[in-house]
Chain A
Amino acid sequence: MTKAGQAPAPMRPAPVVPREETAPSYTEFHPRWYRPPISTYWWLGKSAYVKFILRELSSVAVAWTVALLLVQIRAISSGGDAYARFLHRMASPWMIAINVVAFAFLLLHSITWFNLAPKAMAVRIRGIRVPGLLISGPQYMAWIVISAIIFAIVLTR
Chain B
Amino acid sequence: MVNKDTEPIFWTLFSAGGVVAALFLPAQLFLFGIAVPLGWVHAPAHPGMLTLLRSPITRIYLLIICSLPLFHFAHRFRYTLYDGLQIKHLNEMVFAGCYGVAIIGTLAAAFLLLRI
Chain A: residues with CB nearer than 8 A to chain B? 38, 40, 43, 53, 56-60, 62-63, 65-70, 72-74, 76-77, 79-80, 83-84, 87, 90-91, 95-96, 99-100, 102-103, 106-107, 109-110, 113-114, 139, 142-143, 146-147, 150-151, 153-155, 157
Contacts and interface: CB of A to CB of B under 8 A. Distances in A.
A83 B46 contact: yes
Contacts of B72: 59, 62
Main secondary structure on B side of the interface with A: helix
Contact of A65 (B29, B44, B83): B29
B19 to A, nearest CB: 7
Interface of B: 17-19, 21-34, 36-38, 41-53, 62, 65-66, 69-70, 72-73, 76-77, 79-80, 83-86, 101, 105, 108-109, 112-113, 115-116
Given A40-B85, A60-B73, A73 B34 contact: no
A80 B99 CA distance: 34
Contact of A96 (B26, B33, B51, B84): B33
Given A59-B76, A157-B44, A68 B32 contact: yes
A157 B45 contact: yes
13 contacts: A56-B79, A59-B76, A65-B29, A66-B25, A66-B109, A84-B46, A87-B43, A90-B32, A91-B37, A103-B34, A107-B26, A147-B27, A151-B31
A66 B77 CA distance: 15
B98 to A, nearest CB: 9
Contacts of A147: 26-27, 30
A28 to B, nearest CB: 18
A77 B53 contact: yes
Given A76-B46, A103-B33, A157-B44, A151 B27 contact: yes
Contacts of B83: 43, 56
Contacts of B105: 63, 66-67, 70
Given A56-B76, A62-B69, A76-B49, A38 B86 contact: yes
Contacts of A68: 29, 32-33
Given A66-B70, A154-B52, 13 more contacts: A56-B77, A76-B46, A77-B115, A96-B38, A100-B34, A103-B30, A107-B26, A142-B23, A147-B30, A150-B28, A151-B27, A151-B31, A154-B49
